[in-house]
Amino acid sequence: MMVQRILGSPVDDQTRCIHYRTPLDVVAIKFRCCRQYYPCHLCHEESAEHAAVMWPADEHDAAAVLCGVCQTELSIRSYLEVDGCPRCGAPFNPGCRLHSYLYFTTETH
């Protein structure tokens, strides 16, 4: 298994960052604009030298979410359908769904 490089401001090896670091904050998002993983939208905003681009709904089969516990890459569609990692069982922060519009477009956004 290849360990993904996480850009931005991670604070541990499970993708927690200076902005979101609860025990449940264990995902990183691959941004469509640069195809790089960041722990959160704020890390991308602070570190990338470009504006974020959201994944369109017709690309939700792309592997763009990383479980920081086991390094499994999930498709956007899979991530949006689960409450935790299907491989290792690590629970994901349910509050992250409140920010999904910053990363992924849907039919309503």
pLDDT surpassing 60 at residue 37: yes
**Maximum separation of any 2 CA atoms in the chain, in Å:** 36
Q: By percentage, how much of the chain surpasses pLDDT 70?
A: 94
Instruction: Encode pLDDT of 68-97 as tens digits.
Output: 999 999 999 999 999 999 999 999 999 888
Q: How many Cα atoms occupy the beta-carbon half-sphere of 24 within 13 Å?
A: 9
Return the pLDDT at 108.
52
pLDDT at 109: 45
Q: Could you give phi then psi for residue 19, rounded to 5 degrees?
A: -90, -40
